[in-house]
Amino acid sequence: MTERDYAPLSGACVRGLCDKLYDKRKFAGVEVEKMVKDFSDANNTNQIKRLLRVLGQDLMSSTNPNVKNGALMGLSSVAVGLGKGCDLYIGELIHPIIACLGESEARVRYGATEALFNVLKVARSATVTYFPLVFDALARLAADPELQVRNGAEVLDRLVKDIVTESAELELAAIVPLVRERMYTRSAASRQFAVAWVSALDAAPALGLRRHLPDLLDGLFTVLDDPNPEIRRMCDVQLNEFLRSIRKEPAEVDFQAMINILITHAQSTEELLQLTAVTWLKEFAALSGARVLPFASGVLLAALPCLAYTDEPRKITTYKSEIRETAATVNLQLTKLVSEMSESRASSEDPHTKGAPEESSTEGAPAESPPTKEAPKESPPSKGAPSQEPAAEASADESPPRLNLEAVVGVLTQMLHHSSVHTKVAALDWILHLYNKLPSQMYQQTELVFVSVVGCLTDAADDVVRRALAVLAEICSCPSAGADGVDLESSPYYHKFLKALLRLLAADESLLEDRGAFIIRQLCVLVGAEAVYRGVARAVSGERELRFAARLVDVLATLLLTAAELHHLRLRLRAFDDPATVSLFRTLYASWCHSPVALLALCLLTHNYRHCAALIATFGDLEITVDFLTEIDKLVQLIESPVFAYMRLELLGGPGSAELRAALFGLLMLLPQSEAFHALRRRLHCAPPPPRADTPQHREEHADIDFPALLEEFTRVQAAHREYKTLERRLSRAKLFDRAYS
C-alpha cells in the first residue's frame, strides 16, 4: 500500500507503529494521539473515522504480528487522544482489539490486552453496552497459556470490575447469565474467574446480587465439587458469605427458588459439597419455617441417608460427623414444622364441623417430585437450577404451605429399604409421627406404607423391628377419615397384619426362633396382650402348616407363662368366673391344641385341673418323642417357678386339690426318672395327705364350657398332626430314594 492509502497517517508514522521495538511504536503512538486531539478540537469526525478504519481494518488485516501490534498501539492512542469523546467511536475501537485476543501469537494477545485496558480506562461506563464481549474476552484471557498474558488480563479484569460496580446503567440481569455459564465449564481457570466475579459483584451491595442468587446457586455448588482445592476454597468462602447475608435479611430471600438446588446437591457423594448443601437446608428450614413443607419429601430424601454415617464410627471423617449432626437437625426441624402445622390446623378448625372428615393434605399441594442426584455439569440449566413445579410457588402465594403427604410417604417407604439402621429408624419414626399428627390423612396412605413396614420385621436390628411394630400398631388403631376412633378387632389392617406376620415367621424358621418372642412381647406392650393373643390364636387355628403352628404355639405359651409383659393376662386367665376370660380361654384352646404340653400348661394356669387329668390320659396315645419329653421337663421347671406358686399352694387342700394331684401324678408318670421327675415327686411328697372322703375337694367345672367337646377337638388336631408327620416321612423317604437312583 502507498503512503496515500494510510492517510491521515504518514508513512513514517506507519513504519514507527509497525516497528518491532516498543519504544518506536510508543513514539509513533504519541504522534497519533496528537493528531487525534487536533482532529477532535476541529470536530473533524471524517478524519477520525478514516484513521480508525486504517488502524482497525487495513493494518489489522496483516498477518505480520508487528503490524497488528502497531495497529493496537494506534487504537490505544486514538482513545487517549479522544478522551471523553471516544464514546462516539467505542465500537470501532473495541471490536478490532477483541478480535486480536484470539490470535495465536502471544505478544499480539498481550498487546490487545494492553490496548483494551487503555480504551476501557478512558471510556469507562461508555463501554457498558459491549460488556458481554468484554466479559467473554476476559474469560478467555483468564485461561490463556502464557503467564504474561494472564498477568495483563488480571489488571484488565480489575478495571472492568471497577467499571461495573460504579456503573448505574449496567443491569445484573445481563451479567449473571454470563457468570453462570462459566461455572459449568471444565476449565479450572474459567471456574475460578466466575467465582471471583461473583465475589466482586457481591462486594457491592448496591448492585443487589443476592436477588439473583437462585440463578447462581447451582453453578456455585457445581464449582464447589472442583478437584482444585484453591477453587473449592474460594467457592466455599463465597457460599458462606451468601449464607451470612441470608441470616441477616431472610425476608429478601426467595427460599423456594433455591431449595430444590440444595436438595439435589445434598445427595452428592463429595463430602464438602454435601455438608454445605445440608447446612443451607438447615438454615432454610429455620428461617423460612412452614414455607419448606411443600418440599419436605425432597429434604427428607437428602437428609435421612446422611444419618447412615452413624453406623460406621471407625470410618467417619470430620465432614461426615458434621453432615450427620446437621442432617439430624434438619430432620428434627421438619418434625417440629409438621407438629406446628397439625396444631395450627386443629386450633383453626370450626368446632361445629369438627366431626367432619378433614380435607386430605395432598389436595391442593404442589405436585412435588423429589429431585434426583443428577445435576448439569457441562451447560447451565435454563434458569440455573433444577426445575421445580410452578404449583409450589403459586400455592405458597395463595394459601398456607401444605405438606405433600403422598410424596413424603413415598420417600419414607423408599428409605425403609436403605442399608443404614439409623436411616430406617428415622423413616419409621417419621411415619409414626405422621400417623400421630395427621391420622385421617395418613389412613389414606396406609396401603403405600403397610407392606414396606411389615418387611422391616425381618430386619436384624432390634430398634428397626421395635419401631416397625409401633408403626403397625398405630396403623391398626388409626381411624379412617372422619372417624374418632377404631376398635382393634374391627380394624381391617389388624388381621391383615397378623396374617402377614405369620407368613413371615412361617417362611423363615430362624426368624421365629430368634425374633418371634421379641416381636410378640413388643406387640403385647403396644396393643395389649389379650388383643394380640386373641388375634394370633384365631390366625393359627386356620394354619395349614401344622409344624409351624405347633412351634408358634410353643413360643406363645412360653411367653404367656414367663414374660413380664403378660403378667396381667396371666391374672386375667386365672379369674375364670369372668365370661370374657371364658371366651378368651376357648379362643386360645383351639390353637393350643397344636401343642399338647402348651395346652396342659394353659389348663393348669386356668385352674381346669380335672381337664388336665383328662388331657394327660390321652397323652399315652401320642408319639412320645425326645422333644415331647423335653417340653414336659420345661413345664415341670415352670411349676417350680413363681408363676405357679398359687397352684402349689392349692396342693394343701381345698376345691380342686384332688384333680390337681391327679394331674401332677399323671405328669409324673409320663416322665422318665430324670431330674424333673425327682423334683416333681419331691414336691408331691411335701404336700399333706389327701383329705377324707367326706371333705369337699372337687372343683365344679365351668358350666359354659363343653370340656368333652374340647377334648375331642384336641384329639382331632393331634390326629391331623400324626397324618402330617406320616406324610412328611413318606415324602422324605421318596426324595432319598430318588437321590440314590438318580
Nearest to 113 by CA among 169, 167, 151: 151
Which residue would you say has higher pLDDT here, 374 or 693?
Answer: 693
How much is the mean pLDDT over the chain? Answer: 85
Q: What is the mean pLDDT of residues 425-449?
A: 92
How confident is residue 173, by pLDDT bands cut at 50, 70 and 90? confident
The amino acid at residue 68 is: K
Of 24-28, 257-261, 611-615, 716-720, least confident by mean pLDDT is: 24-28
Spans of all domains in the chain: 1-170, 175-322, 595-742
Which residue is listed with cell 388375634? 535
Asked if residues 623 and 722 have their Cβ atoms less than 8 Å apart, the reply is: yes
Measured distance CA(134)–CA(159) in Å, rounded: 11
Asked if residues 51 and 92 have their Cβ atoms less than 8 Å apart, the reply is: no
Ranges assigned E (strand) in 526-607: none
How confident is residue 356, by pLDDT bands cut at 50, 70 and 90? very low
Residues 6+ apart with CB under 8 A from 484: 355
How confident is residue 693, by pLDDT bands cut at 50, 70 and 90? low
Asked if residues 94 and 54 have their Cβ atoms less than 8 Å apart, the reply is: no
Measured distance CA(628)–CA(595) in Å, rounded: 9
Asked if residues 378 and 184 have their Cβ atoms less than 8 Å apart, the reply is: yes
Nearest to 201 by CA among 157, 227, 164, 149: 164
Asked if residues 484 and 520 have their Cβ atoms less than 8 Å apart, the reply is: no
Does residue 199 have a pLDDT over 60? yes
Of 5-19, 171-185, 311-325, least confident by mean pLDDT is: 311-325
How confident is residue 690, by pLDDT bands cut at 50, 70 and 90? confident
Q: What is the DSSP string of 252-282?
A: G--HHHHHHHHHHHTT-SSHHHHHHHHHHHH
Give the CATH number of domain 1-170.
1.25.10.10
Question: First and final CA of the chain: distance in angstroms?
Answer: 104
Whether the domain at 1-170 and the domain at 175-322 fall into the same CATH topology: yes
User: Rounded to 5 degrees, what angle do the CA atoms 88, 93, 98 make?
Assistant: 140
Which residue would you say has higher pLDDT here, 250 or 6?
Answer: 250
Which residue would you say has higher pLDDT here, 78 or 733?
Answer: 78
Q: What is the mean pLDDT of residues 687-693?
A: 71
Measured distance CA(438)–CA(417) in Å, rounded: 24
Q: What is the mean pLDDT of residues 703-715?
A: 88
Percentage of the residues of the chain whose pLDDT score is greater than 90? 49
Q: What is the DSSP string of 342-396?
A: HHHHHHTS-GGGTTSPPPPTTTTS-------S---SSS--TTSS----HHHHHHH
pLDDT score at 702: 63
Alpha helices (H) along 289-375? 296-303, 318-347
Residues in the chain: 742
C-alpha cell at 386: 433444577
Q: Kindly report the number of other CB atoms within 10 A of residue 466's CB atom.
A: 18
Q: What is the mean pLDDT of residues 637-643?
A: 90
Nearest to 442 by CA among 419, 467, 487, 412: 412
The rounded Cα 314 to chain-centroid distance in angstroms is 23
pLDDT score at 476: 87
CATH 1.10.287 fits 175-322, yes or no: no
C-alpha cell at 329: 437437625
Asked if residues 368 and 392 have their Cβ atoms less than 8 Å apart, the reply is: yes
Nearest to 726 by CA among 547, 541, 551, 555: 547
The DSSP symbol for 57 reads I
How confident is residue 362, by pLDDT bands cut at 50, 70 and 90? very low
The amino acid at residue 356 is: A
Q: What is the mean pLDDT of residues 74-96?
A: 90
Alpha carbon of 187 to those of 139, 147, 191, 227, 374: distances in Å? 10, 16, 6, 11, 20
| Ramachandran assignment for 717, one of left (phi > 0), alpha (psi -120 to 50 degrees), beta (any other) | alpha
Segment holding 241, helix H or strand E: helix 229-248
Which residue is listed with cell 442432617? 327
Residues 6+ apart with CB under 8 A from 677: 636, 668, 671
pLDDT score at 395: 41
Q: Kindly report the number of other CB atoms within 10 A of residue 716's CB atom.
A: 11
Nearest to 183 by CA among 103, 261, 131, 260: 261
Q: What is the mean pLDDT of residues 300-309?
A: 93
